[in-house]
Structure 1
Amino acid sequence: MTDQNWDSHLPLPYQSLSHYQWTPIQIVELTWEYLQKQTIRSVVDLGSGVGKFCLHLATLSKGRFPIVGIEDRSDLFTVSETLREKWNLSSVSFLNQSFLEDFPLGHSHYYAFNPLYETMKASFSIDMQKEKSALLFLQSVQILKNHLFRCKVGTKLITYHGFGGSVLPGYQLVLKKELEMGEWAVWERVV
């Protein structure tokens, strides 16, 4: 599978955003390589966009564990659901909600591809639906940190291009890879 092949299933306006907004296939495969050595109850993608991470991970894992994508934009949620149904991937579900307002506690692994980027910058934005300001970005990062702090000890957060900050209280950085395409890291809740 290549990014170009996967992205060809997207509506045209979303194909051009792939390089900036949707997780590259190489990162999904790196994440799967890591997850194969883990005990997994479930994986949640915070800000799942068009569902690329979730759907490709479900294909790689052959449905071994539940995968949940959370996306607050209804048009992106619809694209995700359409592809999930098209490919008959029953281990994946998508929720059309804000993870900042309704955080899904109780999962073993969370994934974030800089999910708060859209509140900070206008460059390569999906659309202009979200308010963009440095203050909103900082407030959102703090809300996300508070939610992640409420997770159980042992919970893992996998990030690509970060979660919006460099310090995550209660978590320890356990694995980090500097790739040509960006930083991929794993954090574990330790206290």
Structure 2
Amino acid sequence: MSYYDVDSILTDAQKLPCTFELEVPGLGILEGNPGEDIKPGTRIDLPLWLGEMLSIGARLGTSRLVTLDMPSALSERVMNALKADPRTVDLRSLAPHFYSLGERILELFEEEELVDVLMETFKKRAAEVSDQAHNPRGAVGDGVDFLRGLDETERQLFRAAHDRAKEMRVWSGEAKRK
């Protein structure tokens, strides 16, 4: 990803629950208490980029300032729903950049099951996205709720599939050029 990639910037801005391991004087502003200290064990939702930086001490051999927790968008409850039927889950309400968030989290956590669930989810939902994109009436009927729940990656996939299907109809003479 590029440094100037807007989707990457928005993914890094996603909130991640963090638990402070050390006392931090004067940083109470993060939890809405200016001038106060943050005590060990305090849980605060921080942007992904900040949480990652504050937890980096563990990788350098020093004591870490925070411990990162799994975000609610990738919780066990959500993973179970995705295993049951990924097409019924509204990914956009969980995280607008759901798959990008999953990718970033997998850089921080070793979760083999999460990899499998995300891959299967993308495969099954991509097939549905393709069906909706190729069916001109798909966005009118039962597909409306599904299309509203697409994350940004799936929306890009939908646009690409829809545009290619439209171009194919124009090429074959079924539709007029505009």
Same fold (TM over 0.5): no
Q: Determine which structure has more spread, i.e. the larger CA radius of gyration.
A: 2
In terms of fraction of residues, the more strand-rich structure is 1
User: Whose helix proportion is higher, 1 or 2?
Assistant: 2
